[in-house]
Structure 1
Amino acid sequence: MNKKWIYYLGLTLVAAIWGANFGVSRSAMETFDPILFSFLRFGLAVPFFFLILKIKEGSIGLPWKVMLQLAFIGLIGVTGLEIAVMYSIKYTTLANASLLNVAPWPIFAALFAPLFVKEKFTRRLAVGGAGAIIGVTFIILGGEEGFNLSSDHMIGNLLAFGVSIIGALFNLSCMPLMKKYSSLRVSTWFIFFGALFMLPLTMGSWSKVDWSGLEAGHYTAIVYNVLICTVFAFVVWNASMFKIGAARANFFRYVVPGAAVIAGLVFFDEGITLWQMVGAVCMGAGLVWISTEKKEPEPVPIAVVQ
């Protein structure tokens, strides 16, 4: 029995988790500086990654030369990229951030993939991806907030779009190391270095937080980001991506804005428009079309941080 549906379900679940995190992170940044919140997310996740690596593979080490490479990858892909994500959420609307951060990423990943991995861009993937792109655009632009090109949001918009380009290249550039070492081992170390480089940037932020005044919601946001959005989501996403391939897996990022809209309805009593429902149908049809391709390209593991 073909059980590939389990991996597509895993991708959908993780994308939904990340979608809900747009609202969680936006709320948390009313209390925490964006860089500090990013550090808490990845810094607190590091021990869990090393524990999983030790249990699963029996060791955690790497050659020093490889560690230097991963230090650079962590600096760009975790320290720089995640700070850009947090500030894009802070300095533009959620609609803008979700559209510019999420929508172009799979396109760039599919376009750049042949430069890094042997993965075929099929006609079915192109058609399904186009349907998903149209759907996610309707979901975001059809909301009450819409897409805002105001100059007040320009910095956040540019950061969000830059995240898509750099993020896609970052994912794919890990391939040479992951042909020799597991994605878990490589990613554990670049997340460690990314958090390490982020630590000095938080020095002025710790004293600005009223730690004694933190409430249950603040701790819930931290736990959600560390255990669910980072540790759990990373393991499930990469295990699923390994089985079905990078290009088609990245299109499941389009579930993120849909999940964000649903979270807004459930937690913030925000409405859902007809255009958003039409978009959800288009997006769902596109992703189903992608997932039902009989002959799939050779899967390649790719590390992801969201």
Structure 2
Amino acid sequence: MGNKSFWYVAGLVIVAAIWGANFGISRLAMDTFDPALFTFLRFGLAVPFFFILLKIREGSVGVSFKAALQLMAIGLFGITGLEIAVMYSIKYTTLANASLLNVAPWPIFAALFAPLFFREAISKRLIAGGIAAMAGVSMVIVGGGEGIDFSSRNMLGNVLAFAVSIIGALFNLACMPLMKRYSALRVSAWFILFGSLFLFPLTLGSWGKVDWTGLTAANGLAVAYNVVLCTVVAFIVWNVCMYRIGAARSNFFRYVVPAAAVAAGYMLFDEQITLWQVVGALCMAAGLIWITLEKKPHVS
């Protein structure tokens, strides 16, 4: 693996860790903000940062009408639809179910759907490393003690959680062709703008429920973490690295998310880490390292 590839892989791992830690941070914020409103604040407040950065770095902010329509669809499904599905999957099933069904199938669908968008080789090394990583992340999630419950009372949440994997994989892949014409920054700016606009109507009943004068520094830090790190920095870095590494390989690094979420739970909520979770994290790391040692597949 070349020096540049190492930094792209490191970027994917760091972003996944940022997103994983956000499970704990967002849980704290949910005591103050409605989930839909908090999601809108995360993306809506990030929009000006994206466009200011875009203007400074590239001198313009526009895209073609055809690209705008594509980015509108990506924003609707990849931001608005995906985030709603995540919220309600957590509401209507167990956290273990939601985590497993949200995360584990996502890279598999990314690999399966990749030929619909471009030619990206799926190697034996990628398959073997992906299986090891998926087994590891499953141990991290299931080993937490909450267990998996596929009873009928959780069916709606389970279906939504599984849908997150499908929508998320298509969302990532749909961005790739656009990044041949536009930078990751420009693509991210526009689909997050459209996603925020579609999210806004869902927040209309939530603004009056917040005691805005009673917000604490912790509330402000939670919002800032979501806006700056989880959205502006993370989306740009992830899209740049994903374009360079390849969508199929990159999405397996999402398995770092639940491991980071477990670590955040330990630090923020004094949740216990079990031996199964440690073993799972090691298995996941071995699978991801095995994937990274392969040369970058050709993307066209």
Alignment TM class, shorter chain as reference: over 0.9
SS in 1 for 2:43: helix
Q: Which moved more, 1:168-177 or 1:96-105?
A: 168-177
The answer as to whether partners of 1:127 and 1:286 remain within 8 angstroms in 2 is yes
Q: How does 1:70-219 map to 2 (within 5 A)?
A: 70-219=71-220
Q: Which residue of 2 aligns with 1:296?
A: 296
Give, in angstroms, the shift of residue 152 of structure 1. 4.3
Give the residue type in structure 1 aligned to 2:217: A
Give, in angstroms, the shift of residue 173 of structure 1. 2.3
Q: Which residue of 1 aligns with 2:258?
A: 257
Give, in angstroms, the shift of residue 299 of structure 1. 4.9
User: 1 CA distance for matches of 2:235 and 2:250?
Assistant: 13
Provide the TM-score with structure 2 as the length reference. 0.94
Q: How does 1:21-36 map to 2 (within 5 A)?
A: 21-36=22-37
User: 2 CA distance for matches of 1:23 and 1:92?
Assistant: 18
The answer as to whether partners of 2:46 and 2:231 remain within 8 angstroms in 1 is yes
Distance 1:291 1:65, change over 3 A: closer
The answer as to whether partners of 2:78 and 2:168 remain within 8 angstroms in 1 is yes
Q: Which residue of 2 aligns with 1:243?
A: 244
User: 1 CA distance for matches of 2:74 and 2:66?
Assistant: 13
User: 1 CA distance for matches of 2:242 and 2:177?
Assistant: 17
Give, in angstroms, the shift of residue 169 of structure 1. 1.2
Give, in angstroms, the shift of residue 157 of structure 1. 2.4
User: 2 CA distance for matches of 1:109 and 1:203?
Assistant: 34
The answer as to whether partners of 2:143 and 2:277 remain within 8 angstroms in 1 is yes
Q: Which residue of 2 aligns with 1:68?
A: 69
Distance 1:230 1:299, change over 3 A: farther
Q: Which residue of 1 aligns with 2:10?
A: 9
Distance 1:65 1:236, change over 3 A: closer
The answer as to whether partners of 2:23 and 2:264 remain within 8 angstroms in 1 is no
Distance 1:47 1:218, change over 3 A: same
Give, in angstroms, the shift of residue 238 of structure 1. 1.7
CA deviation digits over 1:165-224, x for unaligned, max 9?
A: 111112212344333222321221111011012112211110111112222222121111
Give, in angstroms, the shift of residue 163 of structure 1. 0.7
CA deviation digits over 1:110-137, x for unaligned, max 9?
A: 1111121211000000000000011001
Give, in angstroms, the shift of residue 242 of structure 1. 2.3
Q: Which residue of 2 aligns with 1:276?
A: 277
Give the residue type in structure 1 aligned to 2:252: F
User: 1 CA distance for matches of 2:274 and 2:219?
Assistant: 31
Q: Which moved more, 1:172-181 or 1:157-166?
A: 172-181
The answer as to whether partners of 1:22 and 1:89 remain within 8 angstroms in 2 is no
- Residue 50 of structure 1 pairs with residue 51 of structure 2: yes
Give, in angstroms, the shift of residue 151 of structure 1. 4.2
The answer as to whether partners of 1:26 and 1:90 remain within 8 angstroms in 2 is no
User: 1 CA distance for matches of 2:8 and 2:42?
Assistant: 25
The answer as to whether partners of 1:46 and 1:188 remain within 8 angstroms in 2 is yes
Percent identity among equivalent residues?
69
User: 2 CA distance for matches of 1:98 and 1:217?
Assistant: 26
Give, in angstroms, the shift of residue 80 of structure 1. 1.3
Give the residue type in structure 1 aligned to 2:211: D
Unpaired stretches in structure 2, ≥5 consecutive residues: none
User: 2 CA distance for matches of 1:15 and 1:280?
Assistant: 14
User: 1 CA distance for matches of 2:26 and 2:159?
Assistant: 19
User: 2 CA distance for matches of 1:188 and 1:71?
Assistant: 11
Provide the TM-score with structure 1 as the length reference. 0.92
Give, in angstroms, the shift of residue 284 of structure 1. 0.7
User: 1 CA distance for matches of 2:252 and 2:178?
Assistant: 24
User: 2 CA distance for matches of 1:267 and 1:176?
Assistant: 39
CA deviation digits over 1:78-100, x for unaligned, max 9?
A: 11111222222333333222211
Q: Which residue of 1 aligns with 2:20?
A: 19
User: 1 CA distance for matches of 2:299 and 2:54?
Assistant: 22
